[in-house]
Chains A and B, each alone.
Chain A
């Protein structure tokens, strides 16, 4: 398809990109806008490494074509720390020494922030539901649980 130009709002800034309409948001962020904090893991929305917020909703950017974004604002890992819940999650991640290789953690954090924004006191079941599609091959799940609970407590 012929390339088209899209006006996106990314991390509070207007960004104009010209790309094939079918290009997944993930590759717009990584290759066009050089926001490489959002990761490629599978390309089929099965691992969650590419999770960003689109219009406030945790979204797998690897399967969303840029043409479908419209005017919904996009927030990525690079800016989530400006949000109080985002900052609390990042701090909890650091204080619990959650990360190992760290490659999936941008996606984990974006999913966790979306969870805490809707539910300050998530139970284990709530956490499993919201975080259930994010793969961590290093297996940091136990500390992810603990960090989410801590961040939730700090926020309430």
Chain B
């Protein structure tokens, strides 16, 4: 920790900037990740880089992750403060800048993703707190010439055996001179003061009175705003640009062309303010050359995808006899074909990044899920070394994966513009139209599943073909996330299903249309869980079995988390399921991903030809829960996010290369009326290591709702979005 008199954290960061390199493990193979996780993190993180005890008692804690709603800025300090016995009311979180020391301990670089922040920093932040406490106690013990074991700590105070007491702030300077202990005793769960308690977010008030600054709110002296006219087809270039009218607008500083990461060229407008830049961009007359680029078209893509789905692809999993299905009578076989469109993330805060480029250095402000990746990309554009780029992590208004781009396209764009105007801070803003039309979508997918049903009504054979773009192909993640031509993110949730299905075969095709794609909160599970959970429900109905009992019968005996979640959901929803209103139906679904199991039951009716969700009951097994209030919030919110795919306007489509939607009027996220009226969340008690909760509740809601609708209408819903009920 740092005493009030500056032992500069920046100096420390500079010194530690080259610490040990790349242990990259799979983001999305949660089980291998857990298998690889050592019992104790081998690295000792120095408290100086994370904790500052100020003379007024404030304890400033560096949060090594982006905060964009998930609550990490409260949860990680809770871990640290609990072990440190810090006075919680004095804790001030800060979003750490880009630096090696702030990388994810398990993933090898600084990031938020894979619902891993608590899972992979649980030990790290607890140890940081415990080490700091040990150093403070040692400092107090030395001052009082007593043994450290004779001292107690509580609420930022060390107390000695003879009634001595010293505040942490009084001990900080002495403690900073004590060497960081190599081993440290962590608390027993019974001694937790914060972990496991309902703790309110630390950023609430500032987000309720307008005082919290997001990246888009940044205001620097001399700053200019840049808007970019992106090619209407990915990768295209202008044939001609007439910027006369744009340049004539008062406040417009410059108009110039910049390269895009997809090989095209865009036109940047730099102006004094947003509205000036917007008017200038609207006034540009650009004729685009679309002859040299592929112009993807949704209708044509679907035709190709459907055809591909009828043929076996690269093998993701093969278990048992592939021909077992063919031996069954046709009456015992089901063929189900599914279609899922492109989806935009559309975080409420539009994408933005501010870059100031000066001779030999640059400064960046961005709400980024991949700080160090983006820092390196900006450095590359500017001809700098990453350590010459100071990267401030800004609070972000949502992200859902959209701020985790391996190609750092927004940051590169900002750097390209800043490079042209050295010394001027440039804030690049993507309008909502840029966001909706700008690509980096959840890829569209087709699934074709053939199921053979045994005499007992359980599936005995399963042949499953998935068609969709690889998210990680061509990125730094490809090396460990693509195996045998299979992008793990396309088949997760099917290939590793917890349902015990013999003769199980999953293969995948990865077409490569000219559309940038990206992980969308819960990634492959957004479509795979929909397929699995609607098909299993259909099989249960066919077997005339209760859908919960059917699932329980089919689940692997060792699917403990899923079973626990299912049991808890069944128990907690039983009272309302037993007295459902007329014309209502219950739908259920369960799914495990990122190491966390979630089960969900919904009470649904049809109003105005749309599903009306009166209630949802969610049960979650995420191991030991750090902040139940936050887990509840994540579950409630994730359901709404998952419902995006059921919205009538919940699809991004392309026609002749151009995206057909441009804003929330035609690509419409759920409003309050589309969300469940009430959501009760129940946490499976657990002492297992924590797993994530940001993504796992997303996949269950759509299949649960559709399973209820099927009961009401007798129809099956296999094409999303849900245009008609």
Interface residues of A (CB under 8 A from B): 3, 19-20, 23-24, 27, 30-32, 34-44, 46-47, 49, 76-78, 80-81, 90, 93-95, 97-106, 109, 124, 127-128, 131-145
Contacts and interface: CB of A to CB of B under 8 A. Distances in A.
A99 B431 contact: no
A137 B398 contact: yes
A81 B211 CA distance: 12
Contact of B275 (A27, A35, A133, A142): A27
A140 B184 CA distance: 39
B633 A102 contact: no
Contacts of B633: 97, 100, 140, 143
Q: Is the interface of B mostly helix, strand, loop or mixed?
A: loop
Given A30-B274, A90-B205, 13 more contacts: A27-B273, A36-B219, A39-B397, A40-B274, A43-B433, A77-B209, A101-B68, A102-B204, A133-B671, A135-B348, A137-B346, A137-B669, A138-B640
B205 A128 contact: no
A141 B350 CA distance: 20
Contact of B348 (A78, A98, A137): A137
Contacts of B204: 93-94, 97-99, 102
Q: Is the interface of A mostly helix, strand, loop or mixed?
A: loop
A140 B201 contact: no
B641 A142 contact: no
B210 A38 contact: yes
A49 B395 CA distance: 17
B211 A78 contact: yes
B15 interface: no
A44 B664 contact: yes
Given A41-B432, A135-B348, A144-B672, A106 B210 contact: yes
Given A131-B672, A138-B69, A46 B664 contact: yes
B688 interface: no
Contact of A105 (B208, B346, B668, B677): B208
A21 to B, nearest CB: 12
A139 to B, nearest CB: 3
Contacts of A95: 200
A145 B664 CA distance: 23
Given A23-B275, A37-B211, A100-B70, A139 B216 contact: no
B207 A99 contact: yes
A34 B275 contact: no
Contact of A31 (B214, B274, B637): B274
Contact of A137 (B211, B216, B217, B400): B400
Listed from nearest, the 9 A-B pairs whose CB atoms lie closest are A37-B210, A139-B640, A103-B397, A102-B207, A101-B69, A100-B69, A139-B637, A77-B210, A36-B217
Contacts of B638: 139
Given A31-B273, A34-B219, A137 B208 contact: no
Interface string B336-368: 000000000011111000000000000000000
B398 A103 contact: yes
A44 B209 contact: no
Nearest to B219: A34
B397 A101 contact: yes
Contacts of B669: 135, 137
Nearest to A102: B207
B300 to A, nearest CB: 30
Contacts of A101: 68-69, 347-349, 396-399
Contacts of A32: 273
Contact of A136 (B212, B348, B665, B679): B348
Given A31-B274, A128-B673, A36 B210 contact: yes
